[in-house]
Structure 1
Amino acid sequence: MSGAESSKAGASKAAADVAETEPVAEEQKKKTFAELGVIPAICEACETMGFKNATEIQVESIPHALGGRDIIGLAQTGSGKTAAFSIPILQALWDNPQPLFACILAPTRELAYQISQQVEALGATMGARCATIVGGMDMVSQSIALAKRPHVVVATPGRLQDHLENTKGFSLRNLKYLVLDEADRLLDMDFGPIIDKLLQSIPRERTTMLFSATMTTKVAKLQRASLKNPVRVEVSTKYATVSTLSQYYLFMPFVQKDIHVVHLANEQAGQSILVFTRTVHDCQRLSLVLRTLGFPAVPLHGQLSQSARLGALATFRSGGRNILIATDVASRGLDIPAVDLVVNYDLPSNSKDYIHRVGRTARAGRSGKSVTLVSQYDVELLQRIEKTIGKKLTLFPAGADKETISLLEERVGDAQRAAVRELRENGAGGAKGAGKRKRRMNEDRAGEGMDRDDDVVQADFKALGRGSGGGGGGKKKHKR
């Protein structure tokens, strides 16, 4: 988004007069959860989950949240913010057990399920009950889950609003805690009006925690509307990637991208690989190409059913298939541990999305690498990303040479044609199908229609017969 830095600066200034800032020291001694004031029952759960020491965002926010303060947490994906807001909620629940105690809002269905899993794991020793309320699932079964009066509701905004309006006996009038996770993305997905409605349905006297990767003008406005005298914690003051991440690029003609993905999959055999595509069509097509060639790939995108999406994530996490082809639905918030390699099949138009994508590897101090495929059409986007992160990407040393490309060309071409045939037979990926989906979403309720992925609208772009590649751009780029 152009002007992101200036918007961020303006929003930060606007928020300064309503939030006291708690800066995080660059060099900070590690602390245990017990040292932060967390009760033994939850410390035991943290140990069971492998959380030995608290992360920066947890160290800075948990003590304030335990004291009942509203929190604004600015932190990138993988910083441990789910535990940062879950632990104070569970500790307060321990002291004052009651149903419908807390509500956590998330922008995507997958993130909501993952938050629920972590809340239940952290609250296992105290018997905390959690309900996940998201679009794409049966309203009746969700109504039954809500009737059982869970302690914590984790929801996407549209479906939660549906239940507040239509589910008899369900309300949040006794709510004690509200969390807005990935607030910047909640607002980017136009959930703002629904969140405004939700704020009118819950008590004014509550503790609110807002977590976001960036402080945009929209987030600052939401903060002023929903938080009271908040403590602001910021563990990342600039766009950056971690030092343990090795970032590479490969330059190639546009038409050779599939060949290079196949080569990378072969060279990194046995490792977990996450490939990001810009469109649903390429996500589906590329996964078919790889599977045709014998690689264990699984797609994850917004046009899959909810059960298929959860199944794809579960299969990848368990190692059943070690290659996940995903649209940006998976680039933020999803709990996909220990990814060895991130491949950017397409460059994102937003530099921040690049940071979120590559943030899926090199997490929690581990090393990792990313490889970005750059065609003759992507040079400007690459330069913009490099400017944002403040470093140049390095040419990947293990890329396919001319001989390898020549050997793979025929096999990959056959696989591409087979993938296109299968997509046509199944009626997937075409602009006509995408148009029907968009019309169907427009007919949905406003809230439910927005419980979708940003990438769905991009499915109209046809990937078949894309540019002829090559050209003089390659020679120019190799002079980097």
Structure 2
Amino acid sequence: MPTPEEASTSRSASPVAQEEKPTFKALGLIDPLLTALEQLNFTSPTDIQVAALPPALEGRDIIGVASTGSGKTAAFALPILQKLWDDPRGLFACVIAPTRELAYQISEQFEALGSAMGVRSATIVGGVDEMAQAVALAKKPHVVVATPGRLQYHLENTKGFSLRTLQFLVLDEADRLLDMDFGPILDKILKVIPQERTTYLFSATMTTKIGKLQRASLSNPVRVEVSEKYSTVSTLLQYYLFIPLVQKDVHLIYIANSLAQNSIIIFTRTVHDCQRLAIIMRTLGFPAVPLNGQLSQSARLGALAKFKSGGRKVLVATDVASRGLDIPHVDVVINYDIPTHSKDYIHRVGRTARAGRSGKSITLVTQYDVELVQRIETVTGKRMDEWPTDKEEIALLRERVDEAGRAATNEIKDQAREGHGRKRRREGGGKDERDRDDDVVEAGMPSGMKKKAKRRQ
């Protein structure tokens, strides 16, 4: 809930008729940004941009309550870039995001919007070599986009890197940051950045955790909201398919067959099912790639790039892909597993039917999922329609799908055995320098002793 001070400066961003919206120029943006927006085909501002840009350009702190796909990245990037144009100096802004993919996406948008200004951005996330990141930070980027853990690592370990000159701090998807228990790390980061700064906090919901974070990090903020409740867009057609648990795989393949020309994201609850279904689909001739948190960062970015470019028509993903990612032209979202929380369902299906386009979502419902579906329908205020099926065609598919499932299980077991073998070889006599250094860290040596040990090697 807003404080009394906030209430007086709170702005509602309820949808505005297209003809009533001001232009980007009328909102006060400078020519280099207008040129970049034109090149990116951003023709008119979204609701959150209309509400957030005027107070942001005045220098106010912002609390933005906006769902995924609402244009909030540009809502916080544009005022930061405009201030950078007026007063270019040192590390200017830091954006903290909950996932690596979202961090890369935000960084790309900063560089695209700031292309006429020569803006340099550094992406600092886990799964990437720390030394290469330290080199990137030494080149004095204007904007750092980071996940919390890796940002804290560099603040503590990278000589010469600090946030002392920071003018802007952005916490994007703040509700997700706190859901993922980044709270203690955020507290440490907030202690080492200047008190005199501008802060933007963007979140899909205002929870009590967000309220505490807001009080700790914002000064007399303006609160802007795109919508007050969770909802799905009107151009999204939502379907369900009620099936026995043991028939989930064959029904998934049946749906994928009937939508073979479409780009599809399939969401699973577990990494294991993500890997298994990707193998099953490839075995049956579908161009599918997996995306989950256990893949290396290069593999994750590669999978996203293949799917975005159309090189692969099917992306099988865990919820690492459900929030914030702007993947254009997704025709269908299939929920292989129903998410436990209704808001996660809304974020998942929000990958399709974006920017006024139409899209479909299909949710596989077993005998154990009925209550979850009813809860989702209550939250969204919309009933799902039943997806039509052909029982004879499903029966014909069953044997091939079962065989592909057995092959996928065996392949995953083989991969696990190879992984254990590599680990045992590393733990034997033939360790490389990086393995030995990791052992030093695990042994709990002080950092000074660690450096001496590394020099001896």
| TM norm structure 1 | 0.85
Counterpart in the other structure of 2:70? 79
| Distance in 2, Cα, partners of 1:252 & 1:193 | 43
Q: For residues 72-118 of structure 1, what are the alpha-carbon distances to aligned partners after superposition, in whole Å with 9 as ceiling and x for unaligned?
A: 00000000000000000001000111120000000011100000000
2:205 corresponds to which letter in structure 1?
T
Greater RCO (CA < 8 Å, at least 6 residues apart): 1
Q: 1:313 to 1:16 in 2, by over 3 A?
A: farther
Counterpart in the other structure of 1:226? 217
| Distance in 2, Cα, partners of 1:212 & 1:25 | 16
2:363 corresponds to which letter in structure 1?
T
Aligned to 1:34, the other structure's residue is in SS state coil
Aligned to 2:202, the other structure's residue is in SS state strand
Aligned to 2:26, the other structure's residue is in SS state helix
Deviation at 1:30, TM superposition (A): 2.6
Q: 1:145 to 1:350 in 2, by over 3 A?
A: same
Counterpart pick for 2:376 among 374, 381, 385? 385
CA contact (8 A) 1:423 1:429 kept: no
Counterpart in the other structure of 2:200? 209
CA contact (8 A) 1:284 1:429 kept: no
Deviation at 1:407, TM superposition (A): 0.5
Counterpart pick for 1:291 among 282, 288, 310? 282
Deviation at 1:31, TM superposition (A): 2.6
2:395 corresponds to which letter in structure 1?
S
Counterpart pick for 1:408 among 397, 404, 415? 397
Matches within 5 A, 1:250-399: 250-397=241-388, 399=389
CA contact (8 A) 1:99 1:152 kept: no
Matches within 5 A, 1:38-77: 38-77=29-68
Q: 1:428 to 1:212 in 2, by over 3 A?
A: farther
Counterpart in the other structure of 1:449? none
Deviation at 1:17, TM superposition (A): 4.3
1:64 corresponds to which letter in structure 2?
P
Counterpart pick for 1:146 among 124, 132, 137? 137
CA contact (8 A) 2:69 2:324 kept: yes
2:326 corresponds to which letter in structure 1?
D
Instruction: Determine whether 1:94 maps to 2:94.
Output: no
More displaced 10-residue stretch of structure 1: 210-219 or 420-429? 420-429
Aligned to 1:115, the other structure's residue is in SS state helix
Aligned to 1:249, the other structure's residue is in SS state strand
2:80 corresponds to which letter in structure 1?
I
Deviation at 1:429, TM superposition (A): 13
Counterpart in the other structure of 2:146? 155
| Distance in 2, Cα, partners of 1:79 & 1:269 | 29
Deviation at 1:207, TM superposition (A): 0.5
Larger radius of gyration: 2
Counterpart in the other structure of 2:186? 195
Backbone CA RMSD of aligned residues:
1.9
CA contact (8 A) 1:281 1:429 kept: no
Q: For residues 382-420 of structure 1, what are the alpha-carbon distances to aligned partners after superposition, in whole Å with 9 as ceiling and x for unaligned?
A: 1111111112111113x3x21011100011011001101
| TM norm structure 2 | 0.90
Instruction: Determine whether 1:427 maps to 2:420.
Output: no
Q: For residues 412-466 of structure 1, what are the alpha-carbon distances to aligned partners after superposition, in whole Å with 9 as ceiling and x for unaligned?
A: 0110011011011111899xxxxxxxxx9xx98xxxxxxxxxxxxxxxxxxxxxx
Deviation at 1:22, TM superposition (A): 0.2
The count of aligned residue pairs is 422
| Distance in 1, Cα, partners of 2:261 & 2:129 | 37
Q: 1:344 to 1:201 in 2, by over 3 A?
A: same
Gaps of 5+ in 2: 420-437, 443-457
Counterpart in the other structure of 1:245? 236
Q: For residues 294-327 of structure 1, what are the alpha-carbon distances to aligned partners after superposition, in whole Å with 9 as ceiling and x for unaligned?
A: 0000000011011100100001001110100000
Counterpart pick for 1:165 among 156, 161, 179? 156
CA contact (8 A) 1:22 1:60 kept: yes
